Amino acid sequence: MTRENAPGMRDRAARRRARLRRGGRRRAYRCGVATLRVLGVDPGLTRCGIGVVDVAADRSARLVHVGVIRTDAGTPIEHRLAALAAGLREVVRAHGPAVVAVERVFAQHNRQTVMGTAQASGIALLVAGEAGLPAATHTPTEVKAAVTGYGAADKRQVQTMVARVLRLDELPQPADAADALALALCHAWRRGPASTSVAAGALTPAQQRWADAERLARR
């Protein structure tokens, strides 16, 4: 009997999927220390950056997943949005984040570009809502300042700092993926409203462990 066909393996996998469906969140630990798992989304229709990180109360972080969801510019908009939603749902299902951080749409000279970004951002927030996950938005300036200490940092500087924080051997590529990781780090470090300023009784288990760990770290 092969490993993937063993009944016990199937039962454990089914229980794991059921837990993720019920809570939509994975209990994240690293070396026995509670961490906050954040899904960062750099919204875009052609390329949507995705990054999942575990961040501890001491601001150390570990890469969980990084990637890009792509859609063809020649495909009807409704199909592109459906494909983006499906990709995001799969990331949530597979990695069980506790919170979703999305880049806040800001004014651009290219009206078509900002419209696509806004649509992708809406899809990301929708998927978070469907999964019962809190969500927050952060501006590019907030993200750059949080990760590099400089609100006008360029793409290369952001990639370099993300690689350093996550102890990666190479710079995360493409830039959309690096931006998504930076968003996730920014949210955890800035203690965004969706993750920590919620009343204690409304915190998810992962968020409560994060808050408890932060209190211990400040002692």
Strands (E), 10-152: 29-30, 33-42, 47-56, 61-70, 99-103, 135-138
The token pair at 165 is 């924080």
Given the residues 54, 103, 142, 179, select the one marked as catalytic: 103
- Secondary structure of the chain: what % helix, strand, coil (to 5)? 55, 20, 30
d(CA 113, CA 107): 10
What is residue 102's three-state secondary structure? strand
Active-site annotation holds for 58:
no
The rounded Cα 185 to chain-centroid distance in angstroms is: 9
Given the residues 42, 54, 142, 179, select the one marked as catalytic: 42
**Alpha-carbon torsion 31, 213, 143, 48, what sign?**
positive
Active-site annotation holds for 176:
yes
Given the residues 54, 142, 176, 179, select the one marked as catalytic: 176
Find out whether 53 and 67 touch, Cβ atoms under 8 Å: no
C-alpha distances in angstroms, 70 versus 49, 82, 211?
9, 12, 35
Paired sense of beta strands 33-42 and 29-30, if any: antiparallel
What is the C-alpha radius of gyration for the chain, rounded to an integer number of angstroms? 18
Supply the residues annotated as catalytic: 42, 103, 176
